[in-house]
């Protein structure tokens, strides 16, 4: 089973979007066969676990019907889990999470931290599995209108602590709660950079931390002239790898990325720096 204690090197969570409208890959893995094949590729590239999701959470995205989300994710979870992969189900719906767990998912990754579905916490508590709780202020259709903070890091940490308390009251064990600061969710570019810069404060909350900045728009603006469009998502993997390197230095538990190979190389560099001058790194 995947350890829930942050080690010297973050785990790598590979992303499989079984959606037609993901911001990061434009539906390239929408059909189950393609999604399963992509999951295998990510594992071969070094992914420690695979995050399977059937609902796009890009700004402005509409939610799919429950039946459609189930149709998208359950065959992919079942196939990859049967091959020994550790699967995280990325969903805000308790019924989808339950079906995925029955199909072999070992972790529930809920970007709403249980706020979108009142049955989610009880389901996870009964299953006794890890739960990734992301900082969330509303659905994709209007979340950016809620990107208002006094101090984004202080506010995010306070709201995450509140969710941890509520989740524990619902029966989820403290040791099963993983936190995600929610890069890009009700956050401006400035908010995202502040969270990255002070990531150690999120880690200091005392729970494993997942960093999911991969291919986000704020990374696509790095190096672009003022007013220019951001680089396309597929051209943001180098910037993503740098954030993974930074996450490693801050003590993150895992990084959620679309391109596993570049992040694995960045983490190899972090390892080399960490062990330089020691017998291990000699």
Is the distance from CB of 177 to CB of 209 less than 8 angstroms? no
Per-residue model confidence (pLDDT) at position 27: 60
- Band of residue 156 on the pLDDT scale cut at 50, 70, 90: very high
Q: In angstroms, how far is CA 81 from the centroid of its own chain? A: 19
Query: Which residue is catalytic, options 137, 187, 198, 256?
Result: 256
Distance CA(109)–CA(204), nearest Å, equals 21
Number of Cβ within 10 Å of residue 80's Cβ equals 25
pLDDT one-digit tens code per residue, 81-110 = 999 999 999 999 999 999 999 999 999 999
pLDDT one-digit tens code per residue, 106-121 = 999 999 999 999 999 9
- Band of residue 142 on the pLDDT scale cut at 50, 70, 90: confident
pLDDT above 70: percentage of residues in the chain:
94
Q: Please state the φ and ψ torsions of residue 151, each to the nearest 5 degrees.
A: -140, 110
- Band of residue 158 on the pLDDT scale cut at 50, 70, 90: very high
- Band of residue 60 on the pLDDT scale cut at 50, 70, 90: confident
pLDDT one-digit tens code per residue, 217-275 = 999 999 999 889 999 999 999 999 999 999 999 999 999 999 999 999 999 999 999 88
Distance CA(100)–CA(87), nearest Å, equals 9
Buried b (16+ CB within 10 A) or exposed e, 184-223: bbbbebebbbbbbebbeebbebebbbbbbbbbbbbbbbee
Is the distance from CB of 70 to CB of 98 less than 8 angstroms? no
Per-residue model confidence (pLDDT) at position 277: 65
Distance CA(160)–CA(67), nearest Å, equals 30
Q: Please state the φ and ψ torsions of residue 176, each to the nearest 5 degrees.
A: -100, 0
Mean pLDDT is lowest, of 59-68, 195-204, 206-215, for: 59-68
Averaged confidence pLDDT in the chain: 93
Distance CA(18)–CA(29), nearest Å, equals 6
Q: Please state the φ and ψ torsions of residue 133, each to the nearest 5 degrees.
A: -110, 115
Q: Say whether 216 is catalytic.
A: yes
* Region 141-155 average pLDDT: 91
Residues whose CB is less than 8 angstroms from the CB of residue 42 and which lie 6 or more positions away in sequence, other chains included: 14, 15, 16, 50, 260
Query: Which residue is catalytic, options 187, 215, 216, 231?
Result: 216
Residues whose CB is less than 8 angstroms from the CB of residue 136 and which lie 6 or more positions away in sequence, other chains included: 111, 112, 113, 115, 116, 143, 182, 185, 186
- Global pTM value: 0.93
């Amino acid at each position: 089973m995947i350890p829930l204690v942050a080690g010297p090197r973050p785990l790598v969570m590979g992303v499989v979007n079984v959606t037609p409208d993901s911001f990061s890959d434009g539906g390239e893995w929408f059909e189950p066969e393609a999604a399963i094949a992509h999951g295998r590729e990510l594992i071969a590239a070094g992914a420690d676990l695979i995050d399977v999701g059937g609902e796009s959470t890009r700004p402005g995205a509409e939610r799919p019907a429950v039946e459609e989300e189930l149709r998208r994710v359950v065959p992919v979870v079942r196939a990859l889990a049967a091959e020994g992969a550790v699967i995280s189900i990325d969903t805000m719906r308790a019924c989808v999470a339950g079906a995925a767990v029955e199909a072999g998912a070992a972790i529930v990754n809920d970007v709403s931290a249980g706020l979108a579905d009142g049955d989610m916490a009880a389901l996870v508590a009964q299953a006794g599995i890890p739960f990734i709780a992301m900082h969330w202020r509303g659905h994709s259709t209007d979340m950016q209108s809620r990107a208002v903070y006094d101090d984004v890091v202080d506010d995010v940490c306070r709201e995450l602590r509140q969710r941890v308390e509520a989740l524990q009251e619902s029966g989820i064990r403290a040791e099963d709660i993983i936190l995600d600061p929610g890069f890009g969710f009700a956050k401006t570019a400035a908010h995202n950079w502040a969270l990255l810069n002070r990531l150690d404060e999120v880690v200091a909350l005392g729970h494993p931390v997942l960093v999911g900045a991969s291919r986000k728009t704020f990374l696509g603006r790095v190096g672009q002239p003022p007013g220019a469009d951001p680089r396309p998502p597929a051209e943001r993997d180098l910037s993503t790898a740098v954030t993974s390197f930074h996450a490693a230095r801050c003590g993150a538990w895992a990084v959620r990325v679309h391109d596993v190979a570049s992040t694995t190389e960045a983490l190899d560099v972090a390892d080399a720096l960490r062990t330089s001058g020691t017998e291990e790194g000699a």
